[in-house]
Amino acid sequence: MAGYTDWNNAIIDYFTSGVAAGGSIYLSVNDDALEYIGNKHLSLGPDVARLDFIRSVQTECTRIENGRRKVFLKGVASVCEDGRPKGVAFLGVMVLAAHEMQYDPHHHIDGTNYFKRFNELLGLAAGPQSRPVGMSAGDEEPLWEAWNRWLESKGWRSTAQKGEGPHAYVNYPIEQALLRKDDEAHIEDMFRREFTSAGDRAKDESQLGMWLMRRQFSRLHLARGFAGHDPARTSAFIDSAFRVYQSVDWDQPSGTKRRSSSQKIVGGLIRSVTLQGKLAYRLLPRKPPNWKNTPLEVEGPDGIANLNDYKSGMFMPLWVMESPFPEMPLDYPVSGDPAIEQIGFPKRDFWILTQDADDPLGNYATWDKYPSLLGKKFILTVKGNDGSALAREVAKYKEEGLVGYEKAFQDPRGWVEFRGCMVLSRAWDCIVPPPEAEALYDALRPSVFASLVFKGGLKLPDSPTWIEGFPPELCIYGFEKNFHVKVTSHSGEGMDEFTLQEQATKPLVMCGEPGVYLIKAYWATTLVASKILKVIPWGEIEPSSTPTDTTYKLGGLAFQGPVVTREEHHG
């Protein structure tokens, strides 16, 4: 059995694990998450986690008075010694209740139904408006605010928000739940109906995401989730849907209990060019979300290889792929964690490869699951030759001024690389793509009105963190001429406001001191983009943990700083 504090810490670790600073955190507690947390973080046996979790919260956060169980939040309203908020496990139960709410065809956010479920979970007595006794409207808000504050102090983006009207506080857990239990069953049915081929059943996240975003959902919650105006929330919905997708047992009938999630590691690509100009694509595996690091091995074409840490969210690149466009999806068996069976490489018709400011060698790769292309240069690789349907489609986009690119290069191995691509226009509705190009069209079409980009300064790898005294410059890419920018500190103190012309840069000199800053861009009073900037003092930077492998070789000798050795020769 685990105590409340154990669950509190484990939940925080699970939901923040592998999330780069600047990333959004949703406290989407559900049975799958509890099972994983219980097993991996708390060493609990199977089918015990949920009960143990609820019991621990009940013990810490409720009291029995006059034969009735009531909420008691005094003990969890503060923070631990390390600054972590104590109330996260309680908030987790609140979200679990939202996850288990029934689908309402009239789209009502019903506080009554919500609290009925919540009270059942913790065995609480109902008070006015069905709220549990001991928890009046707003009593739980300080816990949400503490959670948000802690996330932002660490450089993550908080997402829990109060709603409006009579159900303002209920909005907090409901919006955190993302896919509810009912929604999961609904989309699983959709997947089973529509995905019949091997290729359909081996999509990667972005392929599934594009497919979901094109669907017209009758359920308003899903329509808003998959096609809303907040890209971070849409990404979180797609991630949740991808977990459902990965856990479907296609060989079993609908309604079968799904397998545990995180079955497959998704394989992407990293592109490298030698000084001699030789181009190669290597397999770049992505770490499963919220996964607890365990040593893993994979069986590939050259034998067994270790899956080693690379940058946040990725494993080290593996072998060179014969082609980025295999005729069938590929699977490579993985061992070391029973929850992970294989690396899956999808069957695709195109790849979008971006550069990552955190990759010091400037490689183009599938760094982002759902790349936001506004303001970025990227390489678009399409299957076929330059007369193929997709290649002609890209040329059409350029003709209409929707994209620009430096050069189209026909690789004799059977694909075309459009290099130096950039999305230029929002007017994508001028084109109706043919069915075979819908996925490409959806992937290129901008989903945001504006994007903030940090340039220059002294940035640390794997997070939007800069070193004191050397903050970045700000540049905004967007579909209007001028934007209004506000810079505030983490505590809400206004630092500066200014107008910034599109694609002009402004040094963020007001962000030179250590701290966390929130940069928001507005157009005509509408918030169009925001970004978190963290600045740390020199005293807090840490040496990189990436292996020291840069070696100078000459005449059979290998030099690495103070060390010289004879080169090893592998026979």
Q: Shortest distance, CB of residue 560 to another protein, whole angstroms?
A: 5
- Nearest CB to another protein, comparing residues 75 and 228: 228
Number of residues that bind another protein (CB under 8 A): 84
User: In this structure, which amino acid lies at residue 224?
Assistant: R
**H-type helices in 21-80, by residue range?**
31-36, 49-61
Q: Shortest distance, CB of residue 466 to another protein, whole angstroms?
A: 10
Q: Binding residue for another protein (CB under 8 A) from 422, 495, 510, 518? A: 422
Site string for another protein, 487-526 (x = CB under 8 A): ---------------xx-------------------xx-x
Go through 459-489 and write b for each residue having 16 or more CB atoms within 10 A of its CB, e for each that does not: bbebbbbbbbeebbebbbbbbeeebebbbbe
Q: Which stretch binds another protein (CB under 8 A): 60-68, 288-296, 340-348, 551-559?
A: 551-559
The number of C-alpha atoms within 13 Å of 226 and in the hemisphere containing its C-beta is: 24
Residues 167-226 that bind another protein (CB under 8 A): 213, 216, 220, 223-224
- Nearest CB to another protein, comparing residues 350 and 449: 449
Token pair of 96 as six digits = 């679990």
Residues 399-418 that bind another protein (CB under 8 A): 401, 404, 406
**Strand-strand pairing, 364-365 and 378-383:** unpaired
Residue 115's closest CA among 105, 107, 125, 106? 125
In the sheet with 482-489, reading across from the earlier edge strand, the strands are 465-467, 526-536, 515-523, 482-489, 494-501
Q: Binding residue for another protein (CB under 8 A) from 67, 74, 253, 563? A: 563
Q: Binding residue for another protein (CB under 8 A) from 301, 387, 499, 552? A: 552
SS3 labels along 399-443:
HCCCEECCEEEEECCCEEEEEEEEECCCCHHHCCCCHHHHHHHHH
Q: Which stretch binds another protein (CB under 8 A): 136-144, 182-190, 293-301, 548-556?
A: 548-556
Q: Shortest distance, CB of residue 359 to another protein, whole angstroms?
A: 8
Residues 231-260 that bind another protein (CB under 8 A): 231, 234
The verdict on 434 binding another protein (CB under 8 A) reads no
Q: Binding residue for another protein (CB under 8 A) from 253, 277, 338, 543? A: 543
- Nearest CB to another protein, comparing residues 100 and 205: 205
The verdict on 435 binding another protein (CB under 8 A) reads no
Q: Binding residue for another protein (CB under 8 A) from 432, 435, 492, 571? A: 432
Site string for another protein, 60-99 (x = CB under 8 A): ----------------------------------------
- Nearest CB to another protein, comparing residues 102 and 503: 503
Q: Binding residue for another protein (CB under 8 A) from 164, 492, 545, 570? A: 545
User: In this structure, which amino acid lies at residue 4?
Assistant: Y
DSSP 218: S
Q: Binding residue for another protein (CB under 8 A) from 138, 320, 427, 498? A: 427
Q: Binding residue for another protein (CB under 8 A) from 423, 444, 487, 508? A: 423
CA 504, CA 312: separation in Å to the nearest integer?
Answer: 30
Residues 352-391 that bind another protein (CB under 8 A): 355, 359-363, 374-375, 377
- Nearest CB to another protein, comparing residues 66 and 550: 550
- Nearest CB to another protein, comparing residues 29 and 452: 452
Phi, psi of 543, rounded to the nearest 5 degrees: -60, 145
Q: Shortest distance, CB of residue 161 to another protein, whole angstroms?
A: 16
- Nearest CB to another protein, comparing residues 72 and 103: 103
Task: Name every residue whose Cβ is closer than 8 Å to that of residue 79 and which is 6 or more positions away in sequence.
Answer: 85, 86, 146, 150
Residue 461's closest CA among 368, 357, 367? 357
Rounded to 5°, angle at Cα 311 from 511 and 232: 60
SS3 labels along 228-253:
CCCHHHHHHHHHHHHHHHHHCCCCCC
CA 117, CA 318: separation in Å to the nearest integer?
Answer: 47
Site string for another protein, 15-34 (x = CB under 8 A): --------------------
Residue 503's closest CA among 376, 375, 357? 375
Residues 444-473 that bind another protein (CB under 8 A): 447-449, 456-458, 460-461, 467, 470
DSSP 469: T
Q: Binding residue for another protein (CB under 8 A) from 319, 370, 409, 479? A: 479
Cβ–Cβ < 8 Å for 380, 421 = yes
The verdict on 108 binding another protein (CB under 8 A) reads no
Go through 178-209 and write b for each residue having 16 or more CB atoms within 10 A of its CB, e for each that does not: bbbbbbbbbbbebbbeebeeeebbbbbbbbbb
The verdict on 548 binding another protein (CB under 8 A) reads yes
- Nearest CB to another protein, comparing residues 242 and 310: 310
The verdict on 480 binding another protein (CB under 8 A) reads yes
Residues 271-290 that bind another protein (CB under 8 A): 272-275
Site string for another protein, 318-357 (x = CB under 8 A): -------------------------------------x--
Task: Name every residue whose Cβ is closer than 8 Å to that of residue 433 and which is 6 or more positions away in sequence.
Answer: 393, 440, 441
Cβ–Cβ < 8 Å for 162, 141 = yes
